[in-house]
């Protein structure tokens, strides 16, 4: 439902059903936290709450997926150093079949860091 509301431009409605109050009730469920972080980083909205969820998911279950979610949220927030560290940790923990995905993510973050440096030397 939150996805539909976002597509309709009704972010406030989405937040009512799948926002900070929802996630506070699920702070002990790493899979829920990770999905939440991915969802909101994909929307490029509610990033502070997504960051909180991603950090908690890593704390509860430090897997490639949780580190990747944290990386994605940090990247959207332009916290590139944190995004890079999280992506590197995801790569380290990833199964062999997924490593290429994480290597590409790391390259994307490094490219974004370089572009930011060119704009703000």
Q: pTM, whole model, 2 decimals?
A: 0.91
Residue 70 CA to residue 72 CA, distance in Å, equals: 5
Looking at the predicted structure, is the pLDDT value of residue 59 above 90?
A: yes
Cα→Cα distances 84→1, 7, 74, 97, 108, Å: 32, 29, 9, 20, 9
Q: In which band, very low, low, confident or very high, does the pLDDT at 53 lie, cut at 50, 70 and 90?
A: very high
């Amino acid at each position: 439902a939150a996805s539909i509301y976002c597509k309709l431009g009704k972010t406030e409605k989405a937040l009512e059903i799948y926002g900070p109050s929802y996630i506070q009730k699920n702070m002990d469920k790493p899979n829920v936290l990770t999905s939440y972080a991915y969802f909101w980083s994909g929307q490029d909205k509610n990033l502070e709450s997504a960051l909180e969820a991603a950090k908690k998911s890593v704390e509860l279950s430090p897997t490639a997926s949780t580190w990747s979610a944290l990386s994605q949220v940090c990247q959207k927030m332009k916290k590139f150093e944190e995004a890079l560290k999280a992506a590197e940790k995801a790569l380290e923990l990833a199964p062999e079949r997924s490593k290429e995905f994480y290597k590409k993510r790391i390259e994307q973050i490094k490219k974004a860091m370089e572009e930011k440096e060119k704009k703000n030397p």
